[in-house]
Chain A
């Protein structure tokens, strides 16, 4: 998956226009990325990539790039 594809996937997941998102977009500015959004993210990561996120993983994410880094660490995103 390329970074562009990943950002498009994140945008779909949190109902945001993809053009609004960059790696530097803070989590706080994405309304749907709240505590319920975290469950959606965890389910999507499990279903799409077979990656189980821990509580620490999700709490440590403060911007889009943190999620991109997690995808990279699991080999799901082209470096």
Chain B
């Protein structure tokens, strides 16, 4: 069983960020018949979406978030040992977006900074990498930045995706507790099935087809049926194996934080796994499907009840493009600072 356990990593703060410009699917859509739009809204649950204009990249949303967590924790730039930037909507093919963030945050030359090219599964993968980096004696503080601007690669006339996507970014500050004692065990399960690579893909614009004749191939294409099947096949077993590996029951989980792919699919999964609705916060109505960053967006904005003196046990679940899927079973202490920003754009 591909389950990893780490010790001593602690989430100190998470800040999420969305662009101020938003789109009301029912009021603002002109591309599709209004009855069709209402039907999609009812099913997918996407009422509003925050969208980046052409001047906003995932880096802007994440860097604003990172500045916020550094300010709230009083972390100096020199104290940060690594920056991981998880995105599939980078500013450039090269250099890595992590290097741009490194510059804007004023981090030191001793800080490792690199990108991870994952989407929907990116948050559990990012936390896994960050916490693995904190197992040794060298690194003490890691910034995990995870942002996407899927509205910028969605064809506005493709109903399968146009009404679903929203944009968002996040920064998570992770620190080692400096001890292997105590209750800091985190569990991760990470998976891949590359045979489904074409089920969610932007075929053009990369080096396989650098300057495509058909510009539409620079937009994302999704095979909804295959993605649905992948989800209902993989997510229940992902939850099961994580809980079994960690030796806890689902009753001990305070919240299951799903990648906000589609309300219908999440509700179906919850029903299939017999998860109580109140343990499955949804933010898709407000933010749309913001890819992998929908997980930290939901931790921050999902209305989690946080009693003083008790850490929450969260099962974070990411699944989609790749095909790639992963879980992170982590604690969120009552001291962890959660914040949400809205980045001003020209509306």
Contacts and interface: CB of A to CB of B under 8 A. Distances in A.
Contacts of A46: 232, 268, 272
A43 B39 contact: no
Nearest to B225: A55
Given A36-B39, A47-B268, A52 B233 contact: yes
Interface string B208-239: 00000000000000011110110011000000
A18 interface: no
A53 B43 CA distance: 19
B225 A54 contact: yes
Given A47-B268, A47-B271, A39 B160 contact: no
Contacts of B160: 35
Contacts of A35: 159-160, 224
A21 interface: no
A58 B229 contact: no
A39 B39 CA distance: 13
Q: How large is the interface on A (under 10, 10 to 19, 20 to 34, 35 or more residues)?
A: 10 to 19
A42 interface: yes
B232 A52 contact: yes
Interface string A34-72: 011011101100110000111100100000000000000
Contacts of A53: 225, 229
Interface in A4-52: 35-36, 38-40, 42-43, 46-47, 52
Contact of B229 (A36, A42, A47): A42
Interface size range of chain B in the complex: 10 to 19
A52 B236 CA distance: 14
Nearest to B268: A43
Given A35-B160, A36-B39, A52-B232, A43 B226 contact: no
Interface string B164-196: 000000000000000000000000000000000
B264 A58 contact: no
B40 interface: yes
Contact of B223 (A42, A43, A52, A55): A55
B264 A43 contact: yes
A34 B264 CA distance: 15
A36 B232 CA distance: 16
A17 B264 CA distance: 24
A55 B39 CA distance: 21
B200 to A, nearest CB: 13
Nearest to B269: A43
B43 A52 contact: no
Given A39-B264, A52-B232, 10 more contacts: A39-B43, A39-B225, A40-B264, A42-B232, A43-B228, A46-B272, A47-B271, A47-B272, A53-B229, A55-B229
Interface of B: 39-40, 43, 159-160, 223-226, 228-229, 232-233, 264-265, 268, 271-272
10 contacts: A38-B225, A39-B224, A39-B225, A43-B228, A43-B232, A43-B264, A47-B268, A52-B229, A52-B232, A55-B223
